[in-house]
Structure 1
């Protein structure tokens, strides 16, 4: 299922994913906030389980991109993690589904409108990363590398986002 694009009240572009995971919020929380767990499914090293107001370094681990910085905006384990990533805002919301699993709502709010090309790349990258996260939580090897999968998904996101069909 592709992510969707929405426009915030401030006119910013928001990329949103909703995933139903067969794991309790506490387990998913560790995967999204612990530095070693995060690095295993997304190519960024960061310690995100920190109090609001804490500055964080976001260092790419398997790709040659410059390091970034952010600030923890909200941290309410195991329900809500929100941080800035340069001018973007990244938000993970976890809700118990009543069946031993959880619903993960992931949002990336960009510092620009939806006409920019970056949501296409980010949509494919986050989609691929969330697939790897789910596989890791399930205890199985991901079928493809995050970058290979993002490249494969790129045309789907380009078509959906440019046509307006994705939200």
Structure 2
């Protein structure tokens, strides 16, 4: 399991979490995991009403056990297999896929709607991309969402990121 590189910075007046992870698969394979609803349902914190492969409105549904929360989303740009940009509720997510000698460098820039949740969001993406990495490697573990994350080290990750980000204020 590769450890992500995570920072938190002011970007055009908003705070953006920058999450970088090295994956062993080529960008085309990672792109499918980021855009195909069936793939997203195996690793991400939400399900998607439709493919995220072309600009337009859709719905992303947060899942926490039996609870579902629909959030409006708009795909602004989808350049297969290198760049995906969409809103998720009031947040904006920009995924960049860069080919490397050993696979793909995945960079997520998650611009947050408000301050104070960056450590929680970082811990969530950390767990989700752990699951993504295992899925892509052919060793799926099953999606980890909502309260289930508490059983998989989310609180420890949140505390670690909170300590890391405390120097950013």
Judging changes above 3 Å, is the alpha-carbon distance between structure 1 residues 73 and 164 closer, same or farther for their aligned structure 2 residues? same
Structure 1 unaligned blocks of 5 or more? none
Who is 1:159 aligned against? 163
Q: Find the aligned partners of 1:32 and 1:3 in 2 and give their Cα distance.
A: 19
1:2 and 1:157 in contact (8 A); partners too: no
SS of residue in 2 equivalent to 1:67: strand
Q: 1:29-71 deviations in whole A, cap 9, x for unaligned?
A: 111110010010113111343322x101011233435210110
Whole-angstrom CA distance in 2 between matches of 1:131 and 1:36: 18
Residue by residue over 1:81-120, the C-alpha shift from the partner in whole angstroms, topping out at 9 and shown as x without a partner, is 1101122110111111144x111111101123xxx22111
1:4-153 maps to which residues of 2 (within 5 A)? 4-9=7-12, 11-46=13-48, 47-52=50-55, 54-63=56-65, 64=67, 66-99=69-102, 101-112=103-114, 116-142=115-141, 145=144, 147=149, 148-153=152-157
- Structure 1, 61-70 or 32-41: larger mean CA deviation: 61-70
Aligned CA RMSD, in angstroms, stands at 2.1
Please give the alpha-carbon distance, in whole angstroms, between the structure 2 residues aligned to 1:81 and 1:48. 12
Q: Which runs of 5+ in 2 are unaligned?
A: none
Normalising by structure 2, report the TM-score.
0.85
Higher strand share: 2
Distance 1:106 1:8 in 2: 14
